[in-house]
Amino acid sequence: LLLFTLTTTLFAQNYDETKAGSYVLPELLKAQNGKEIVSAEDWDRIRRPEILKLFEDNVYGQVPKDFDKIEFKVLEQNYKALNGKATYKQVAVDVIRNKKVITVQVHLFIPNKIKKPVPVFLTINHRGLDTMQASPENEFWPAEEIVNSGYAIAGFDVKDVAPDHKTDYVNQILTKLYPEQTLQPNGMRALGAWGWGVSRIIDYFETDKDIDASKVIVVGHSRGGKAALWCGAQDRRVAIAVSNESGNSGAKISRRNFGETVEVITRNFPHWFVPGYAAFANNEGNLPVDQHMLLALMAPRAVYVASAADDSWADPKGQYLALVAAQPVFSLFGLKTSLPANMPPNNEQVIQLPLGFHNRDGIHNMNLFDWKQFVKFADEYFKNNNKK
For the annotated catalytic residues, the residue numbers are 222, 364
Least Å distance, CB 222 to ligand GCU, is 3
Of residues 248 and 307, the one with the C-beta less far from ligand GCU: 248
Of residues 76 and 310, the one with the C-beta less far from ligand GCU: 310
CA 293 to chain centre: 13
Interaction of residue 58 with ligand GCU, rule CB under 6 A: no
State which amino acid sits at residue 91: V
**Which residue number is nearest to ligand GCU in terms of Cβ?**
222
Least Å distance, CB 260 to ligand GCU, is 5
Interaction of residue 125 with ligand GCU, rule CB under 6 A: no
Least Å distance, CB 140 to ligand GCU, is 12
Interaction of residue 366 with ligand GCU, rule CB under 6 A: no
Of residues 234 and 248, the one with the C-beta less far from ligand GCU: 248
d(CA 109, CA 132): 11
Interaction of residue 223 with ligand GCU, rule CB under 6 A: yes
Interaction of residue 222 with ligand GCU, rule CB under 6 A: yes
330-347 burial string, b = 16+ CB within 10 Å, else e? bebeebebebeeebeeee
Q: Which of these ranges, 5-13, 170-178, 260-268, 290-298, lies near ligand GCU under the rule CB under 6 A?
A: 260-268
Interaction of residue 62 with ligand GCU, rule CB under 6 A: no
Question: Is the four-CA dihedral 8, 9, 10, 16 of positive or negative sign?
Answer: positive
Of residues 212 and 290, the one with the C-beta less far from ligand GCU: 290
Interaction of residue 247 with ligand GCU, rule CB under 6 A: yes
- Measured CA to CA in angstroms, residue 188 lies from 96, 230, 274 at distances of 17, 12, 8
Of residues 23 and 313, the one with the C-beta less far from ligand GCU: 313
Q: What is the DSSP letter of 269?
A: -
* DSSP β-bridge partners for residue 70: 95
Helix (H) or strand (E) holding 227: helix 223-234
Least Å distance, CB 125 to ligand GCU, is 11
Of residues 333 and 369, the one with the C-beta less far from ligand GCU: 369
- Applying CB under 6 A, the site for ligand GCU has a residue count of 8
d(CA 291, CA 251): 6
Here's the x/- map for ligand GCU, 284-323, by CB under 6 A: it reads as -----------------------------x----------
Interaction of residue 266 with ligand GCU, rule CB under 6 A: no
Contact 140, 125 (CB under 8 A): no
Of residues 51 and 251, the one with the C-beta less far from ligand GCU: 251
CA dihedral 102, 158, 305, 10 (to 10 degrees): -120
* DSSP β-bridge partners for residue 138: none
Interaction of residue 265 with ligand GCU, rule CB under 6 A: yes
The footprint of ligand GCU on residues 179-208 (CB under 6 A) is: none
Interaction of residue 260 with ligand GCU, rule CB under 6 A: yes
Of residues 48 and 255, the one with the C-beta less far from ligand GCU: 255
Q: What is the DSSP letter of 44?
A: I
Here's the x/- map for ligand GCU, 17-36, by CB under 6 A: it reads as --------------------
d(CA 51, CA 233): 10
Least Å distance, CB 321 to ligand GCU, is 18
Interaction of residue 248 with ligand GCU, rule CB under 6 A: yes
Interaction of residue 259 with ligand GCU, rule CB under 6 A: no
Here's the x/- map for ligand GCU, 74-113, by CB under 6 A: it reads as ----------------------------------------
CA 327 to chain centre: 18
Residues forming contacts to ligand GCU in the complex (CB under 6 A) are 222-223, 247-248, 260, 265, 268, 313
